[in-house]
């Protein structure tokens, strides 16, 4: 059975100033998502599922329905406020986080699947790596995460936050340590730059999580239970979010699964602010010049 690619695209893009998920980056106005779809098709994925806000439906369908001739396309919707029997919460302005976003695809995904962010570029070879894992190794007790080399994810325009991975002898994830305000200078990577905390260093070749996961569909039941427990504990907190690392950590600690960290040498980049767009355009143009992608992606 071919794996599915789940694309998290429900963000509002408030810091970007628009619907960044479909903003043109490539030479023919292709958004980053189209490069992910292209890489997924080449790597053997059989379906794309978009997690979007319902109000994005028309914009997404007008842009991506055309790919249904190449790969199955489905859409699911992440609501802001949830109606869960027995739980009453305060009114929210944002959904309940990335774990909630994955959970809304429960009814349309029955096969192993990868999870990515819509506005991040993950690299062509990483799709092949995770597709091979999902097809050949993924199970209810062994899931995965693509691990990027820290220096391949840093920005030239300021500090970033990264989850630095600790792994065991089998390259299974032990812990993700959050480091903030990271930047590299003269070959040295520091964190807490400009913060009111002691400056620290981290190996520039450390493996970091960029929210690229490979899951077995059995995780949906765990996600649902975990999200409901999280909501019960945060009924009066309008900004609390249940992130994918929350459920992954809980399942690792409880011994319910191992998470294989799959190393990749691909560069990663994301588009959070409008100022990030020129960098993304230049990176895609370099990939085209290097022969990774054709200039006309779909011809």
Specify the DSSP class assigned to residue 4.
Answer: E
* pLDDT single digits (tens) 150-159: 999 988 778 8
pLDDT at 95: 87
DSSP 262: E
What are the C-alpha distances in Å from 3 to residues 35, 134, 138, 194, 245?
18, 6, 10, 43, 21
The per-residue pLDDT for 18 is: 52
pLDDT of residue 222 exceeding 70, the answer is yes
- 44: Cβ–Cβ under 8 A, 6 or more apart, which residues? 2, 3, 128, 131, 135
Nearest to 264 by CA among 167, 150, 187: 150
Q: Sorting pLDDT into bands at 50, 70 and 90, what band is 17?
A: very low
Residues, the chain, total? 299
Under the banding of pLDDT at 50, 70 and 90, the label for residue 19 is low
Q: Which of 111, 106, 118 is nearest to 52 (CA)?
A: 118
Q: How far is CA 296 from CA 26, 29, 34, 35, 291, in A?
A: 9, 10, 12, 11, 12
Compute φ and ψ for 6, nearest 5 degrees.
-100, 120
Q: Which residue has the tokens 């767009």?
A: 277
**DSSP labels, 150-197:** GGGS--SSS-EEEEEEEE-TTSBEEEEEEEEEEEEETTEEEESTTSSS
- 41-44, Cβ contacts within 8 angstroms, sequence gap of 24 or more: 41/70, 41/71, 42/124, 42/127, 42/128, 43/127, 43/128, 43/130, 43/131, 44/2, 44/3, 44/128, 44/131, 44/135
Residue 206 in tokens:
């450390």
Verdict on whether the full-model pTM lies above 0.95:
no
Q: How far apart are CA 86 and CA 62, in angstroms?
A: 38
112 in Cβ contact with 135 (< 8 Å):
yes
> pLDDT tens for residues 55-103?
889 989 999 999 999 999 999 999 888 777 877 788 888 888 899 999 9
Two tokens, residue 195: 């913060």
pLDDT in tens, 90-109: 888 888 889 999 999 999 99
6-15 tens-digit pLDDT: 999 987 544 4
Q: In this structure, what DSSP letter does residue 67 have?
A: G
From the list 27, 9, 35, the residue with the least C-alpha distance to 292 is: 35
| pLDDT tens per residue across span 242-288 | 989 889 999 999 999 999 999 999 999 888 777 788 889 999 999 99
Nearest to 160 by CA among 210, 110, 123: 210
**The two structure tokens encoding residue 211:** 């929210």
* First-residue to last-residue Cα distance in the chain: 27
4-140+209-244+265-289: in CATH 3.30.70.141? no
Domain boundaries, the chain: 4-140+209-244+265-289
pLDDT (0 to 100) of residue 255: 93
């Amino acid at each position: 059975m071919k794996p599915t690619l789940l694309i998290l695209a429900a963000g509002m893009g408030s810091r970007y100033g628009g619907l960044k998920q479909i903003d043109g980056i490539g030479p023919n106005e292709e958004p980053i998502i189209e490069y992910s779809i292209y890489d997924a098709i080449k790597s053997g994925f059989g379906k794309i599922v978009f997690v979007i806000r319902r109000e994005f439906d028309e914009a997404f369908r007008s842009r991506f329905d055309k790919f249904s001739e190449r790969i199955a396309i489905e859409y699911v919707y992440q609501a802001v406020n949830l109606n869960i029997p027995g739980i009453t919460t305060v009114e929210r302005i944002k959904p309940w986080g990335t774990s909630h976003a994955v959970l809304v695809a429960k009814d349309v995904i029955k096969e192993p699947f990868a999870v990515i962010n819509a506005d991040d570029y993950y690299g062509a070879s990483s799709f092949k790596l995770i597709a091979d894992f999902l097809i050949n190794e993924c199970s209810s007790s062994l899931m995965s995460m693509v691990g990027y080399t820290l220096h391949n994810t840093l920005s030239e325009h300021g500090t970033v936050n990264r989850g630095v991975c600790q792994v065991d002898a089998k390259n299974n994830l032990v812990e993700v340590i959050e480091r903030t305000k990271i930047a590299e200078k003269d070959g040295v990577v520091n964190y807490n730059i400009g913060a009111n905390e002691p400056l620290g260093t981290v190996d520039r070749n450390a493996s970091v999580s960029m929210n690229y996961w490979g899951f077995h569909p059995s995780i949906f039941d765990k996600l649902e239970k975990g999200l409901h427990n999280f909501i019960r504990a945060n009924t009066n907190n309008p900004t609390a979010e249940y992130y994918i690392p929350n459920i992954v950590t809980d399942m690792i600690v409880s011994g319910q699964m191992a998470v294989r960290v799959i190393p990749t040498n691909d560069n990663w980049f994301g588009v959070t602010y409008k100022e990030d767009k020129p960098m993304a355009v230049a990176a895609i143009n370099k990939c085209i010049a290097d022969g990774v992608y054709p200039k006309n992606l779909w011809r």
